[in-house]
A and B are shown apart, each in its own frame.
Chain A
Amino acid sequence: MKSISQFFFFAVILIFVTGCTSKDETKDVEIMVSAAASLTDALNNLKNVYEENNENVLVTFNFGSSGKLATQLEQGAPSDLFLSASVKDMDKVTSLGLINEASKVNFTRNALVLITHTDSDLQMTSFEDIDPDNIGHFAVGEPESVPVGRYTKDVFDHLGMWNALKSHMVMGSDVRQVLTHVEMGNADLGVVYSSDAFISDKVKVLAEADPAWHAPIVYPGAVISEAKQPQAAQDFLDFLTSDEGKNVLKEYGFK
């Protein structure tokens, strides 16, 4: 008897929990946006602004690394809009005919910054100032697999400093891990995107890399060709490139 009552107890909880997540009935248009994880904070803010102006629209996000999102789209995951952090992944879904090519636009940019902990007394004002003999661990993204690491390698290859700094490098599996190493003080220096440095109050920016030193860090967006709400998705993408949208993105460290 006990196990039966327990079963019903869990069944009731399950129904209750799923019932709570039912969506807002007053909205009649819902757009599903597959967005790069680095956009999380900026997009949640943009969503609020957008939904205030367009009361019948509900914007829902699926955040993840651009590579994983591209794979999901390839597998037929339902989505109306793809906001990628890398040209490579956007090219991949384009070549598979998954997006409406006419809608493709680079809606924002990011920059590379050299960061250190807020308590650190390191005095540097540019990437060239880094003295390999005077630093401990230097956190960067793994250059073969992590986009931020690839850009970082571009910069130090350009400056001819990669080999000298290599022995100090701790390689993160994503940009947030690089940030964590610096935030916790385990690495003296790190290179992350300006949007990541911006959301952390435990790091300070020492220098910004000249965009000419690395491949451009652009965020391409496009409407999915199988979108259920292509018009609403296009409107939201247009909003990102409008002055209002650009200002919000700038507030979060995007360029």
Chain B
Amino acid sequence: MSGVDYSPLVLSLKVALISTSIVFVLGVFFAHQFARKDFFGKSVIESFFMLPLVLPPTVVGFGLLILFGKKGWIGKLLLEWFDYQIVFTWIAAVIAAVVVSFPLMYQSASAAFESLDEKLENAARTMGASEWRLFRTITFPLAWPGVLAGLVLSFARGLGEFGATLMLAGYIPGKTDTIPMAIYFAVESGQMEKATFWVIIIVALGFSTIMWLNWWSKRNMRRFTNEKRNR
């Protein structure tokens, strides 16, 4: 296998890393905002957030095409204002990955924030901590194990996303072919050697990601608990 084109590997990593970063910021922000608030329509918004998890990927892909397509609501504006077509680019693959992995991040993060002991936060408030400092030093570190779980799931989902990506980013060899797409088309055309190669790569990638994050979180947790003990 000397003549292997590694572009699917590079592209998949790029897409999954960028989409996980976006999902991390969005997911933590919304989960924290919604955690202890109850307002009219909250459950409607939360159900909407969860939708990509239960819809078939082709439906998500079709919905995204309606939004981002050349004649779509957002796609039309991008074309008019910036003369930019987002469909059939690697950015489209990032959008698809963000949409399908957001529910996983949101779910994990909101469960983590909701299970926090509110007394700890209130104690910090009585000592005059600002809301940002409170979030940075109390809330987020305590929610970290849950957020981390969401992070791992989002990365894995982004790496494996296929259906919506195929519709929105298309299959352009060398430009928008992520590993799942390379596997799909290799299997369909009977190139089993190529398919097996990419399957091994993606399994190794997923496995080592989870191993690394587990190790990393354990180390960080230990440091965190030690610091507490030393104080």
Contact check, A172 vs B171: say whether CB atoms are below 8 A apart. yes
Contact check, B170 vs A170: say whether CB atoms are below 8 A apart. yes
The answer to whether residues A186 and B87 also contact, given A170-B171, A173-B171, A177-B167 and a CB cut-off of 8 A, is yes
B188 on interface, CB distance cutoff 8 Å: yes
- A150-189 toward B: CB 8 Å interface, digit per residue (1/0)? 0000000000000000000111110001001100111100
A168, closest chain B residue (CB): B172
Contact check, B191 vs A144: say whether CB atoms are below 8 A apart. yes
Contact check, A137 vs B65: say whether CB atoms are below 8 A apart. no
Residues of chain B within 8 A of A180, CB atoms compared: 65, 167
Main secondary structure of the interface of A (DSSP, over half): loop
Task: Give B178-194 interface residues, CB cut-off 8 Å to A.
Answer: 184-185, 188-191
A142 on interface, CB distance cutoff 8 Å: yes
Least CB distance, B174 to chain A, in whole angstroms: 9
A119–B10 alpha-carbon span in the complex (Å): 38
The answer to whether residues A170 and B184 also contact, given A185-B70, A186-B70 and a CB cut-off of 8 A, is no
A211 on interface, CB distance cutoff 8 Å: no
Main secondary structure of the interface of B (DSSP, over half): loop
Task: Give A200-225 interface residues, CB cut-off 8 Å to B.
Answer: none
B27 on interface, CB distance cutoff 8 Å: no
B173 on interface, CB distance cutoff 8 Å: yes
Task: Give A138-154 interface residues, CB cut-off 8 Å to B.
Answer: 139, 142, 144-146
A142, closest chain B residue (CB): B185
The answer to whether residues A173 and B184 also contact, given A137-B88, A184-B70 and a CB cut-off of 8 A, is yes
Place the interface of chain B in its size category: 20 to 34
The answer to whether residues A181 and B170 also contact, given A142-B188, A144-B188, A145-B189 and a CB cut-off of 8 A, is yes
The answer to whether residues A185 and B71 also contact, given A144-B188, A170-B88 and a CB cut-off of 8 A, is yes
A97 on interface, CB distance cutoff 8 Å: no
A145–B184 alpha-carbon span in the complex (Å): 10
B103 on interface, CB distance cutoff 8 Å: no
Contact check, B172 vs A170: say whether CB atoms are below 8 A apart. yes
A208–B184 alpha-carbon span in the complex (Å): 30
B9 on interface, CB distance cutoff 8 Å: no
Contact check, A186 vs B171: say whether CB atoms are below 8 A apart. no
Least CB distance, A116 to chain B, in whole angstroms: 13
Residues of chain B within 8 A of A181, CB atoms compared: 170
Residues of chain B within 8 A of A173, CB atoms compared: 166, 171, 184-185, 188
A136 on interface, CB distance cutoff 8 Å: yes
B58, closest chain A residue (CB): A177
Task: Give A104-154 interface residues, CB cut-off 8 Å to B.
Answer: 136-137, 139, 142, 144-146
Chain B positions near chain A (C-beta within 8 angstroms) = 65-66, 69-72, 85, 87-88, 166-167, 170-173, 184-185, 188-191
Chain A positions near chain B (C-beta within 8 angstroms) = 136-137, 139, 142, 144-146, 169-173, 177, 180-181, 184-187
20 A-B residue contacts at CB 8 Å? Answer: A136-B85, A137-B88, A139-B170, A144-B188, A145-B188, A145-B189, A170-B88, A170-B171, A171-B172, A172-B171, A173-B184, A180-B167, A184-B66, A184-B70, A185-B69, A185-B71, A186-B69, A186-B87, A186-B88, A186-B170
